Every structure is written in structure tokens, then in C-alpha cells.
Chain A
Amino acid sequence: MIEFKLPSLGSDMDEGRLNDWRVHAGDTVARGQIVAEVETTKAAIEVECWHDGTVYELLVQPGTTVPVGTVLATLLEPGETAPPTPPDGTRARPAPPAQRTPPPTPPTARPAEAPTAPPARRRWVSPAARRTAEARGVDLDLVTGTGPGGAVTIADVDRTAESPPPKEPSVDRAAGIRQTIAAAMSRSNREIPHYYLTETIPLDTTLAWLEEHNRQRRITERVLLAVLQIRAVALAARRYPELNGFWIDGTHHSSSDVHVGVAVSLRQGGLIAPALHDVPDKPIEVLMAEFADLVSRARAGRLRSSEVSDPTLTVTNLGDRGVESVLGVIYPPQVALVGFGRTTTRSWPIGDELRAMPTVVATLAADHRASDGHRGGLFLADIHARLTHPESLWT
């Protein structure tokens, strides 16, 4: 029997509200399949299952808020037979595994180095209150208990039934996003000894190459400079692993995979930095398509659990906002963030001459616990070299 748990939703997200199951008991599921949708303060996250198997029992009901790590369902392994006692269909067990956090409590960032879920806060719902809730169609997770130890009474259920319906999660999302960013960035500034390096990169060759590439293609197949920058960073990160991965429990865990978190500003305010997976291994056209899809889903608030949980370093591009450079704040537990400013024409010496040169300033914010300025400088120089040799980014 496999326990399917709510996976990590990023270091700044410690719980989620189950919106919907996408599978039923008895369904066969494949690795990577989306099996549920969970609402967090930042987005609705489609939760992928990382096992092949058959759904045995769904343990958590839609509408329930549960901490990361909660067992959501049990699965039978391929070939495994069901235990003799049949599960109670898709019905959850009578006692929900956790209660919804009262709305006024802001989400708190929990260090990702403590992946164990905190024990669920249990509270008592009297059988009479439960019956009343059922009769009046009240979601018990939305009821604030006023009895002893937060127990839910009939009066509580009545009050909830008569109060206006709770606001849609999306209405509160802007405030939730702000709180979540505040927690993650405070933690970053408190814990991570940042150092910063900057490098100005000439772009004449790259832009000419890009223009030539795009000239021959339909508008839907054209590539943006931002994607070349992301790829240059990813290839450099593979060569300098101390800038890639996570700082957990006082140690740097470098990652052999390079999943680039792409900082996406949201129209309602705030930002989210979901992962483009395996950037060094994908052709540039594939990356461009995935980049466009990721940004549009991030803005629509529809991301997958793997995208929010596993970026190994982040790239932020503030160039379109018209700034020259960005000195970023690392998204913990990552150890580096690379920023790009706008493309600016600067005078640039070539031999004895000065030329008007399109340039971009690349910056590195890095965790001094995991790397030093010397290696950080080599990393940034490597990005410079790759970005000025666009043919190296294509293969």
C-alpha cells in the first residue's frame, strides 16, 4: 500500500486546501498524473502523483485544509491486491485529519528543511452539530468552534449557516500572496548572507542571431531573449553546482538537475517563481513553448505541484520594467538568484574604437554559506560567455 501525501508546495507554503479530486477509488493512476487540485494562498496547484498504482481510498474530503505531508489517499501498488476489508468507497473517514486554519491567521513560512508535517489540530464536532451541518448544508471546515477546546456546537453551525458565504479564495489571494512573500523574504534576509556580483554583457551577436532565427519563423515559434538568458544561466549552473540546489540543515545540497525558477510578476500584485524543469536538456524551441505556457499558467493561478516545489535556482528579468539591473533576494532554501536588467545601448570599446553596443547587466545574488565570490564570479563569467555565443545555447 502506498501512502500518497500532499507534496511540498514550495518552501513558503505549509498547507493547502483540497479543492477537488481528479480521480476516484479504483482508478488506475500513472506516475506524473494530476490527481488532485489544492488551493494555496498563491495559486491553485495541480498535484501530481509520483507512483504508478490504483487508487484504494481517498482519505481527505474536498474543502479540507491540510498541512504538507498529510496522507491524502492510499494507493495499491501495481499487482497488489486490496486488503480483505473493503474501503468505504470514496468517503473520507469520519474524523477529518486536520481542520482549516481560521481565515485571519496569515500563512506562515515554514523552513523547508523540516518537511515533516506538524500534527493536525484536532477539534471536536458534536454529533448533533454534525447532523445540523449536514441538514443545513454547512461545510464544517468553515465553522469556527466556540465550545471547549474549539469544539463545534450546534450554535456555531447555525451561525455559519446564517452568515454570508465565505469569500472566494481568489478574492483573498492578493493579500495571501503578500503575506507569503513577506514571510519568505524575511526569512531570506534573516538567514542568508547574500553577496552580489554584476557583469555587463554585450549583446550585438546574440541579438543579431536571435533576429535571424526569428525572421525565418512564424510568430508563434519566435524565441525571446529571456529564454536565452534562462538557458545560459542553467548551463552555467550545471558547471558551477555550488550555485545550484538548496541550503538545508547547515549544508549545501547541490542538485544534479537544473530547474530554473522563473520570477513571474502577477497582475494583481506579487510574484511567483515556478520551475522550468531540466532546462539544460531541452531544445530552445521547447523551452520557449514551456516558458510561455508556464508564465500564462502562473498568471492564471494554475500551476503543478512539481513546478512550485523544486526550482533549484531563480532567474528574474526586470528588464521590461526599464531598470538597468536587479540585485535580488534569494528564495530560500535556494542559494542563488540571477537577475537581468533591460537591454541598454552603451559605448563599448572594440580595439581602439568606441562603438554603440546593446548590453545587458547580469547580476548574481548568492548565498555566501554555499559559495564564495570567486566561484560566483566564474559562474557569472560563464553566463557571459554563453550568452555572447548564442550558438552554444541552441544545442
Chain B
Amino acid sequence: MTTNNEEPTQTLLAILHSIAPEIEPQDIAPNEPLRDQVDLDSLDWLNFLIKIDKAFSIEISESAYPQLRTLNDIVRYLTPIIGEPEHTQEHSR
């Protein structure tokens, strides 16, 4: 996790916490599939994506679903849409 990702990651964890209040955000591994770590059914997952869609004022297309599995997947998906932070990108695409 690079510092560049911190802000969207925190927002994503806050959204996740609002859906699954039992999670400890610091225990979420950013490169492991979220649904392997958190008990989310298909409606929870849809609600998670709807809240991301709203929080970042973006439009998540259904074709993007398969690539949105981990926390870092979602950050990578969001970055070009919500704009690059000023620092140099350190993480690989």
C-alpha cells in the first residue's frame, strides 16, 4: 500500500465497515479478495459497489465487476477516474 492510496482506501474501508460492522479495518489484507475475508452476500456486495459509486461520484459498469475483487483492485480502478494524486505513482499497474 502506498501513501497515494491512503485516502481512497480509508473511504473504502469506511464503506465496508458500514455494511459489515463486525470487521476490523486494519485486518483487511489489501491484496486478498474481500469476499474471502468478509461475510458479504451478493446484495451486500452490490450495496458496497453502490456506495462506492456514490462516494466517488463515478459510474461502475457491470463489466468491471470481475476485476474488482480486492481492496487494491478497487483503488486501481478508481485512481484514473478520480484523478492521480500529486505524488509519483509507486505501485505497479
Interface set of A (CB-CB < 8 Å, partner B): 211, 214-215, 218-220, 222, 224-226, 265, 267, 291-292, 295-296, 317, 319-321
Contacts and interface: CB of A to CB of B under 8 A. Distances in A.
A219 B22 contact: no
Contacts, number: 40
A222 B40 CA distance: 17
Given A225-B42, A296-B47, 4 more contacts: A219-B46, A224-B46, A226-B43, A320-B40
Nearest to A212: B62
A214 B63 CA distance: 9
Grouping DSSP codes into helix (H, G, I), strand (E, B) and loop, the A interface class, with mixed when no group exceeds half, is helix
Contacts of A267: 20-22, 39
Interface of B: 20-22, 39-43, 46-47, 49-50, 53, 59-63
A-B pairs with lowest CB-CB distance, top 6: A320-B41, A214-B62, A219-B53, A215-B62, A224-B42, A219-B50
11 contacts: A215-B61, A220-B50, A225-B42, A226-B43, A267-B39, A291-B43, A292-B47, A295-B43, A296-B47, A320-B40, A320-B42
A222 B42 contact: no
Given A267-B20, A267-B21, A219 B42 contact: no
B59 to A, nearest CB: 7
A317 B42 CA distance: 10
Given A267-B20, A267-B21, A219 B43 contact: no
Nearest to A320: B41
Contacts of B43: 224, 226, 291-292, 295
A219 B43 CA distance: 12
